[in-house]
Amino acid sequence: MIVIDTDVLIEILDKKSEKGDEALRTIIESGEEISTTVITLHEVLYGLCKRGKSAKDVLLLPVLSYTKRDALLSSRMELETEKQGKPIPRADTMIAAMAINNEAKLFTLDLKHFSSLKEFGLKLFP
């Protein structure tokens, strides 16, 4: 399964984005199931509503919920990266925890934040 991060989903929803077109092609060619997270859903819905755009396409995506197990892992990752002097935003550790705990690959353009979470078991797509 591929979990689509906020930045990739925003690019895909932007009908004029070549980056979004390429991301969508890559996902389709993989033949894998896709989903997003409840955190990503919130971030994208906020942006769409703020700009007065329709959210109907986003609401069709399967969405992973945030669980107690995710909270345990997310808080551990957040604390560890802070100790290493490389803090990662809370929403990103939450998204990463959901991907890890669902044995999914995260499709993100934000490699700066997410690459360091590979040591916790995060797999990135592609």
Domains in the chain: boundaries: 2-125
Cis geometry, peptide bond prior to residue 62 (ω within 30 degrees of 0) = no
Which has the closest alpha carbon to 108: 4, 25, 28? 4
Copy the structure tokens of residue 112.
Answer: 């700066």
Looking at residue 101, what is its pLDDT? Answer: 98
| Separation between Cα atoms, residue 64 and residue 53, nearest integer Å | 23
Looking at residue 90, what is its pLDDT? Answer: 96
Looking at residue 36, what is its pLDDT? Answer: 97
| Separation between Cα atoms, residue 50 and residue 35, nearest integer Å | 23
Average pLDDT for runs of 10 along the chain of length 126: 96 90 96 97 94 89 98 97 95 98 97 93 96
CATH class, domain 2-125, is: alpha beta
* pTM, two decimal places: 0.93
